[in-house]
Structure 1
Amino acid sequence: MSAAQNRARQAGVTLIELMVAMAISLLIVLIAASAVVASKQGFMTVDAGAQLRDNTRFAVDLVQQVSVQAGYLDVAFATAAASPNAPASTIDAPITGFNNALVPANGSDPISGLASNSRTAAAGGCSDAADTACANGSDVLVLRYQSAEGLAGSGQSDQTMINCAGVPQTAAPATAQTRIVSIFHVARTEGGEPSLMCTTQDASGNWTTEPVVRGVEGFQVLYGVDAVTANAAPTGTPDSVTDTYLRADQIVVPGDAAATNANWRRVRSLRIGLLVRGPRNSVQDRAGAMQPYYVLGQAASSTGDTGAIFTPSDDGRLRQVATTTIHLRNPQGG
């Protein structure tokens, strides 16, 4: 046999060489697949983070914009209220609230439903302990104000005032007692996702509730009060400067509705805390995501207030806390 024929029979790949090549190829595929999975997870985290920040920013802006309207009166009624001979107001204060509470079902009067129970979850404020608003101890914020008549005598507003859903109010106030009522609270939507909800009343007196920001599972409110002691009737002369921050249940004077109303009229600012979550598996560090979240900030969150400190389960969700302080523009009547 010639040397050329021998070399021809030995040309090709041996079994060992083939197995080595397959092993190297498989390793390359695994590395490439891992890179694709990591890139996809990173993209999902970045996308979820961007959406989370947008939702949080929108929620904070909406609560701020509606809250600063509290106590606003149309110029005609504001002038009358400023008269030294005007009687003391007996209507509800521009700002009220409920601690760890659940707004009644859609269509019913939420104010009466909440006021008929204790203002804390333990005594009935949360009738359904499985609801997000109760499980996370979320609060209820009630804001009252008027719209402004665009042209005197027209009966139409200038549509500069909005409700908690961001909808401009078209009707001008008919009397000094006419108020727009906007209620912020947390509840589950039909899909089971907790959301910041808006409950409003239309011109016919019908109440409607709708979600405004998806993924809000914590809503905490502290009220900056002027010359108010927790659960006591107001004393002293207010100076329109916030002295301390209290929960809604601390502003209540048990058995004294007039004193409670007077305390609410001494609210000068609001401290708002929001806890917003993203979709499942949107976080890469699952262990780190199970840390405690201080919804009002670590300094202002009290272990005695359910929901102010929230530790999530291992659901792989990205979360963000946002806190803001809102100084009220309009006199609250106290």
Structure 2
Amino acid sequence: MTTTSLSPQAPRRIRQVGLTLVELMVAMLLGLVVVGAVVSVLLSSRQSYTTNNALSQVQDNARIAFELMARDIRQAGSSPCGNSNVSDVLAGTGWYHWVNGAGLFGVDNATDPATPLAPLPTAPAPTAGPAIVTRGVGQVSANVITPGTTCAAGAPMTAAPTDVGIGANDLVLACDGTQAYIYQAAAFNAGLPLTATGTGTPGNTGALSCASFSSSAYVAPYQAFAWYLGAAGAGAPKDTLSLYRAHYAGNALVSDEIIRGVTNMQLAYLTNGTNFVNAGTVGTAWNTVTNVRLTLTLQTLTNPNNKTNSEPLVRTFDTTIRVR
């Protein structure tokens, strides 16, 4: 008979499969940290983009304003004939008149009744602050008046070519080396709107009475612009100001909204032998102004930070423009 001894066997170790609860919680925590970091970076990038985009819009607006105003200021006083003997027969006493041979003038307060800035549109009306007026001619494209043409008794002038870019009721300058006339064209005659009468807005004081024009005579659009700040148009946030340019178009005084968000405009003028001064100091010596310093303060129309109490971005730009 065979006997078998039974000995206890060592227990087998069971290999663990999967994650423990602690490991799972640690992994979830690390995942949340990573996701939070990524979200934070994305939000920061989005905020930076929004801020940079708003700042870019402000800079673009400043660039547009400087470019347009600089063009008008540089052309102030321009004439295709270089003749300072100008007869202005436009009616009224508005800022659009050619006065003392000066192509520009400014005021320190556009709302002051004593300033020569009337008339200006009442919608929008200018705000208290500086304004500037420029006067000169537009582009001349060989618009030569036929030699011997006169304007006696309001007779229509003749010129070549007939397409001179002037419409009925536009303001016009006709000149040669010895004479120059500014008036409002009243009708379009044979392609050339050069008859002057007393009708229209602003109208004329009467018919022209000029001598026979020479072979060097030109006709060109006469352009007078008034730059000022006023309330922004429809759709803008409350109390927003805009930069406007007023001028006569056709038979009406209109005001074009150039850019929005201009909170302040400052103008200073340099004359021979002086430093930059305000308009009041220049007085009536506008034909001695050689440079204009323009300072604009602009702000964003919306809050780039998307916060209730956050202020809009505000930037101030300045430039100096030489009068030709």
TM range (shorter): 0.5 to 0.7
Does residue 27 of the first structure (1) align with residue 71 of the second (2)?
Answer: no
Match of 2:254 in 1: 208
Match of 1:151 in 2: 143
Match of 2:173 in 1: 173
Q: Give the Cα separation in 1 of the matches to 2:99 and 2:318.
A: 33
Aligned partner of 1:53 among 49, 59, 74: 59
Check conservation: 1:133, 1:217, Cα contact below 8 A. Answer: no
Can you give the 5+ residue segments of structure 1 that lack an aligned partner in the other structure?
A: 83-88, 105-109, 115-126, 162-169, 226-240, 253-261, 287-313, 330-334
Secondary structure, counterpart of 2:181 in structure 1: coil
TM-score when normalising by structure 2 = 0.60
Q: Give the Cα separation in 1 of the matches to 2:72 and 2:104.
A: 11
Does residue 72 of the first structure (1) align with residue 78 of the second (2)?
Answer: yes
Match of 1:139 in 2: 130
Q: Give the Cα separation in 1 of the matches to 2:163 and 2:130.
A: 31
Corresponding residue pairs, total: 235
Q: What is the Cα deviation at residue 149 of structure 1?
A: 6.4
Amino acid at match of 1:264: W
Q: Deviations over 1:34-89 (max 9, x none)?
A: 000011112223333333322222221211111111112231xx43629xxxxxx8
Larger radius of gyration: 2
Amino acid at match of 2:257: P
Match of 1:191 in 2: 235
Check conservation: 2:269, 2:278, Cα contact below 8 A. Answer: yes
TM-score when normalising by structure 1 = 0.58
Amino acid at match of 1:184: W
Q: Give the Cα separation in 2 of the matches to 1:268 and 1:68.
A: 10
Does residue 249 of the first structure (1) align with residue 280 of the second (2)?
Answer: yes
Can you give the 5+ residue segments of structure 2 that lack an aligned partner in the other structure?
A: 1-9, 87-97, 146-158, 175-179, 184-221
Aligned partner of 1:94 among 95, 99, 103: 103
Check conservation: 1:280, 1:316, Cα contact below 8 A. Answer: no
Q: Give the Cα separation in 2 of the matches to 1:212 and 1:145.
A: 20
Match of 1:267 in 2: 289
Match of 1:258 in 2: none
Q: Percent identity of the aligned residues?
A: 24
Q: Deviations over 1:1-38 (max 9, x none)?
A: 9635x43xx53333332222222211111111100001
Q: Deviations over 1:221-240 (max 9, x none)?
A: 11223xxxxxxxxxxxxxxx
Q: Give the Cα separation in 2 of the matches to 1:207 and 1:132.
A: 13
Does residue 3 of the first structure (1) align with residue 34 of the second (2)?
Answer: no
Q: Is the helix fraction higher in 1 or 2?
A: 1
Match of 2:152 in 1: none
Q: What is the Cα deviation at residue 91 of structure 1?
A: 6.1
Q: Give the Cα separation in 1 of the matches to 2:125 and 2:277.
A: 23
Q: What is the Cα deviation at residue 152 of structure 1?
A: 1.3
**Alpha-carbon spacing, 1:191–1:67, altered in 2? closer, same or farther (3 Å):** same
Match of 1:321 in 2: 316
**Alpha-carbon spacing, 1:246–1:42, altered in 2? closer, same or farther (3 Å):** same
Match of 2:265 in 1: 219
